[in-house]
Amino acid sequence: MKRSAGIATLALVALASRADEPTPQQLEGMRHFNQSCRVCHTRPQLTSTQYAPVLSRVSLGGNDEALRVFIANGSPKMPGFRYHFKRAEIEAIVAYLKTVPPPAD
């Protein structure tokens, strides 16, 4: 009886650890973010200027569609990426951003 309980516990731990691993779509989104977005949306060095806001799962109120539209169309301060990224690539970036916790205050 104890052995089966131990095996069940190990199975639950294995499933929980897989839940924290990024999906292939999220990994693709992270790659695109690092190639095209990171330069403005992160601070490369402590003494560097950050040009754009930090992005996370709460950006634009956490609204996936608003993120897709903003990435595609841009704004007066940000270029749109609808001709640079395919729709699936923009979806991947949004999926990645949904894994990024909001910045600490």
Instruction: Please indicate, yes or no, if residue 1 is contained in any of the structural domains.
Output: no
- In the chain, how many domains are there? 1
Instruction: Please indicate, yes or no, if residue 12 is contained in any of the structural domains.
Output: no
Q: Which one, of 56, 54, 32, lies nearest residue 44 by Cα?
A: 54
End-to-end CA distance of the chain: 49
Instruction: Please indicate, yes or no, if residue 32 is contained in any of the structural domains.
Output: yes
Q: What is the CATH number of the domain that holds 29?
A: 1.10.760.10
CA distance 91 to 85: 10
Decide: pTM greater than 0.75: yes
Residue 26 near residue 96 (C-beta atoms within 8 A): yes
- Domain of 50 in residue numbering reads as 24-97
Q: What does the CA dihedral 22, 26, 27, 31 come to, rounded to 10 degrees? A: -150
Q: pLDDT tens across 13-72, in order?
A: 444 445 689 999 999 999 999 999 999 998 877 777 888 999 999 999 999 999 999 999
Instruction: Please indicate, yes or no, if residue 105 is contained in any of the structural domains.
Output: no
Q: pLDDT tens across 68-82, in order?
A: 999 999 999 999 999
